[in-house]
Amino acid sequence: MKKFVLFFLIIAGFSTIWLYISERTDLLPIADAPFDAYFMEEDGVLTLHWRPLPYPCRYEVECFSKTTGQTTGGTPELHRFSSESTTTASFRVPPTTIPMFYQVSAYGLFGKLAGPFETIANPVYTEPFSPHPILRYTEDSPASLKPFLVWHPVPGAVCYELEILSAPPEKEGGVALSDKYNLFDTQRVYTNGYQVDLTDWSGRRELYWRVRALTLEKKPIGEFSRAEKIVISESASIPDAPLINTFMQMPDDYPLLYPVYQWIPMNGVLRYEVELLYSPPEEKYEKTPVPDRAWYRIANDSFSCYDEYKRDDPGMYYWRVRAVDEDGKTIGRYSETASFCVPETKGRPYAAAFGDSITHGGGAISYSPANREYDYMTYLDFPAMNLGQSGDRSKETALRFEEDVLPYRPYNLIVMTGSNDLRSDRPAEDIISDLAAIRDKCIANDIRPIFLTLMPIHPQNIYTAFHTETSEGWRPKLSKINAFIRKQDYYVDLEPYFYDATKTQLDETLAIDGLHPDIRGKMLMAELINAHRDLFREP
């Protein structure tokens, strides 16, 4: 027995030495092995594949986005989003709605073997931007006469123009509708999907569709997508429920304290009801509500719904949506049931963000806080809870402190509120009083308050987007509020970075609607906060 153990130890020792020499020298052609990376997509899910190295190893895939460059002298840099390990030569790309880049490195038992290999760009978001289909209708999976068309959203798009064609267009791409094959087109598409009615062409076996992104002024962003064939079957069941829109929803560290629910609406239906449940419904696709539902709300002419109540009890939550008429009766059936999980908070979080809709998220008019690419916490170098609530004025934010902040007592609280007050006649002194109250409550509860200066606004764009007027005195009010913030012990000065070339109002390239920063604006907010990490208290 002793001889066997000794023999085993000798073999293990020689194997370890051989592995070490193989990994730390050029004995094996590992570093120069071809990488040969490529992507495959199925139902909107991308998988990155590469040629495996001729040696057993673990691969680390790092995910990056590009910064705005405004804090680094105008030169964008790669910002590390996340990393994952795999022992296979493939990686399922996390859902993303912004341009992303990937680097792969190989590791053995004794450290890095090779890499990072060449940086690979996500092919969905190569320029010029054009939407890419998610749902496809083929011979094996034909469309009904009212199919949902769904695509990857284009960053910054306010709306989309959809075109149905009888044949592929004369020229792919571009921004012009087809002269010869156009059957139908609409610009009234405010989310990344549309239920199209094809009954006028029921005799056709196949049609084509394409879509392009538009700005607030209906100017093109990028080009039309490549025309996609729709194979039609008149016997296919017509969808009679809204389509839950969790397509390409980016992952997050924490769920929203105040959830937002969104869907792709049914053709021609303007009224919807969302219901929240503590357990999944016993029957799918019902037409009537369950008697013990936790909450419901009507949303008119919409594709999203904001929950006015916080959802902080740990556990699973379930929600679904139905189209309803003026009498509250279901049009069709309930949608599929979606869910989200509120994790149990263990210990004090490192950081949380507290404020109004700029904190809650959303932007480009059509995107809600459920679209985490419009959440500045997505781009922070550290996890932070989102304690924002859309619609808050500074008074409401201050009043929510005990209810929404104290249960967590984060070590650091990023505070930004008062932007909605800039548009009103409420005096600066009142907003300053609210900010001082938040500061004092933080100090009393061993929380470090880190204030963000308010950004300028763009009154004309606010009126175009929301049809609301802005108080003429917003500039001196902004100056007074930010002067107070700059006297605090801990603050990040956002204001100077968000002016346009005139230095008088918000740069519309950072916030289309004149108030809420869009993706690039949210990235810039995070970059400025990341640059002031020394302000944050360590646990």
Query: So where are the chain's domains?
Result: 23-125, 148-231, 247-342, 351-535
Q: Which fold, 351-535? A: Rossmann fold (3.40.50)
Q: Are 418 and 481 within 8 A, CB to CB?
A: yes
Specify the residue for token string 């556990």. Answer: 315
User: Global pTM?
Assistant: 0.91
Six token digits for residue 330: 């279901």
- Identical topology for domains 148-231 and 351-535: no
pLDDT for 529 beyond 80? yes
Q: How many residues does the chain have?
A: 539
DSSP state, residue 7: H
Strands 38-42 and 45-49 come out as antiparallel
| Cα-only R_g, the chain | 26
**Averaged pLDDT of the chain:** 91
Residue 219: CB atoms within 10 A of its CB come to 10
| Average pLDDT score over residue span 111-134 | 88
The neighbouring-strand residues paired with 212 are: 161
- What string of H, E and C letters represents the secondary structure of 114-166? ECCCCCEECHHHCCCCCCCECCCECCCCCECCCCEEEECCCCCCCEEEEEEEC
| Residue found under tokens 């016993």 | 282
> Could you read off the pLDDT of 212-268 as tens digits, one per residue?
999 999 999 999 999 999 999 999 999 999 999 998 888 887 899 999 999 999 999
Indicate the SS3 state at residue 274: strand
Residue 249: what pLDDT?
Answer: 85
What tokens does 338 get? Answer: 């979606």
Cis amide leading into 459 (omega within 30): no
Cα dihedral sign, 528-533-534-537 = positive
- Residue 415's closest CA among 362, 510, 485? 485
Residue 282 pLDDT exceeds 60: yes
- The second-level CATH assignment, the architecture, of 148-231 is Sandwich (2.60)
Distance between CA atoms of residues 424 and 353, nearest Å: 24
| 23-125 is a CATH 3.40.50.300 domain | no
Strands (E), 224-325: 228-231, 243-244, 260-264, 271-277, 295-300, 304-306, 315-324
Look at residue 35 in the predicted model and tell me its pLDDT: 80
- For the segment(s) 247-342, the CATH number from 3.40.50, 1.10.246, 3.40.30, 2.60.40 is 2.60.40
What is the model's pLDDT at position 43? 77
Token representation of residue 31: 């570093």
- Pick left, alpha or beta for residue 446 (phi over 0 → left; psi -120 to 50 → alpha; otherwise beta): left
Highest mean pLDDT range out of 79-88, 249-258, 502-511? 502-511
Q: How far is residue 239 CA from its own chain's centroid?
A: 26
Which tokens is 232 given?
Answer: 């039609």
Question: Residue 53: which pLDDT band, with cuts at 50, 70 and 90?
Answer: confident
